[in-house]
Amino acid sequence: MEMERRPGVPRLLREINDRSALDLLLASGPLTRGQIGEMTGLSKVTASQTLARLEERGLVEVVGEQGGGRGPNAALYAIVSSSAYVAGLDVGPELVTTAIADINGETVAELTVSPGGHEDPVAVVHSAVVKACRSAKVALSRLRSVVIGTPGVVDPRTGDVRFSFDLPGWHEGIHEALARDLRREVRIENDVNLAAIAERSAGIAHDADDFVLVWVGRGLGLAVMLGGRLHRGRSGSAGEIGYLPVPGVPLAEDIRSLPGRLPSLAGGLQSLVSVEAVTELAETYGFSGSSKAECVAAAVDAGAEGEPLLDEVAARLALGVASVCVVLDPGLVVLGGEVSRAGGSALATRVEEAVARICPIRPQVVTSAVEGNPVLRGAVLAALNHAREEVFSA
């Protein structure tokens, strides 16, 4: 377009206008040229030029018409959903779940597979992504970003898993190997951190700048959100709350004695809320279950008879929550994971009350409100953020 070569139309201004329109369409869905102009402050002429550029780039298209006003119906514009795709993965020791989403964030396929005894992370991830792409009818080459959630500590400087009890095969060099195998940008992130991203986007912590998410499932983890950004720490170890020393439990010693892996968490907070600890505790109150979540759910269903067990579990969790609160004072504490989901508000309320009894801060303690798999949801959101920056800024 000749007008775009004129000195009076700076390139930077065009880029800002394009991105404003794209962000608006992502947030609001299909809009007319007039609506885009009104909501972004662009003139009709500038809005028309912006949409023409975005159509030429293959990023927006006309998807319908809107009537009701004088004159002809106005064309409705939307982002071309197929302009880019992303993959998000939740990798655990027993199952790998992959979701493929389009640039609008709509999930087009979700597939859970078993590693089938394979210990090579590259082979496991490659197989999971290929199968999910096949299910979505999306070529692997169309993926603009892949984000993988794993348990363990991820070094933010290298992108590699430094150690993981549940995934011993994940180690330094895996990040580069995955990117080379998939031939695209790959990011590995701690699973609880991804759950926190999902919580801030579509959960109880929606748009909260400061909060912590305590993950109580098979293991114990913590994600810290400060100023709207994840705090990972220099080595990625921020949130390893299982190692927190607590009263009445011997201190762990020689915790770095095994190369590449951390030994038992005996001696830390984890030892009070481990599967063995909670199931043994449940038995003393007359409840049984194969997992912590089953024991807690049984206590909730039992009503008054289950309250003593819930009180004790809450008191143990409060030791960790209180320690975090006196250092960070986040104001909001979200309980996530299968145990927190099983305990619901009955457990969250007890944790809040227990924290208030042992420290000068009483945070609001609530249960996660993210539907489905929070780790997978966070992985997709993280992948979308990267893909949109890449595609929209091209």
Alpha carbons within 13 angstroms on the beta-carbon side of residue 150 total 29
Paired with 287 in beta bridges are: none
Say yes or no to pLDDT of 8 above 90.
Answer: no
Dump the DSSP string for 293-326: HHHHHHHHHTGGGGHHHHHHHHHHHHHHHHHHHH
Say yes or no to pLDDT of 382 above 50.
Answer: yes
Whether 379 contacts 149, CB under 8 Å:
yes
Q: What is the DSSP letter of 254?
A: -
Say yes or no to pLDDT of 113 above 50.
Answer: yes
CA distance 158 to 160: 5
**CB within 8 A of 37, min separation 6: which ones?**
43, 44, 46, 47
pLDDT digits (tens, 9 = 90+) for 158-212: 999 998 888 888 988 999 999 999 999 899 999 999 999 999 999 999 989 999 9
Q: How confident is the model at residue 256 (pLDDT cuts 50, 70, 90)?
A: low
Say yes or no to pLDDT of 263 above 60.
Answer: no
CA distance 191 to 343: 21
Q: What is the DSSP letter of 366?
A: E
Give the CATH number of domain 10-79: 1.10.10.10
Report the percent of the chain where pLDDT is more than 70: 92
3-class DSSP assignment, residue 61:
strand
Say yes or no to pLDDT of 69 above 80.
Answer: no
Amino acid 261: pLDDT = 44
Mode of pairing for the β-strands spanning 74-79 and 31-32: antiparallel
Please compute the mean of the pLDDT values over residues 297-310 and round it to a whole number. 97
Least confident of 163-177, 212-226, 251-265: 251-265
Say yes or no to pLDDT of 29 above 80.
Answer: yes
Please compute the mean of the pLDDT values over residues 313-337 and round it to a whole number. 97
Please compute the mean of the pLDDT values over residues 382-392 and round it to a whole number. 95
pLDDT digits (tens, 9 = 90+) for 133-157: 999 999 999 999 999 999 999 999 9
- ∠ CA 184-98-339, nearest 5°, is 130
Residue 223, judged by CB atoms within 10 A of its CB (0-12, 13-18, 19+), counts as: buried
Instruction: Indicate the pTM of the whole model.
Output: 0.91
CATH classification for the domain delimited by 85-195+374-393, as one of 3.20.20.70, 3.30.420.40, 1.10.540.10, 3.10.129.10: 3.30.420.40
For the chain, domain boundaries: 10-79, 85-195+374-393, 205-367
CA distance 87 to 179: 13
Whether 363 contacts 321, CB under 8 Å:
yes
Amino acid 269: pLDDT = 93
CATH classification for the domain delimited by 205-367, as one of 3.20.20.70, 3.30.230.80, 3.30.420.40, 3.40.640.10: 3.30.420.40
Domain 85-195+374-393 and domain 205-367, same fold? Reply is: yes
**CB within 8 A of 169, min separation 6: which ones?**
119, 120, 121
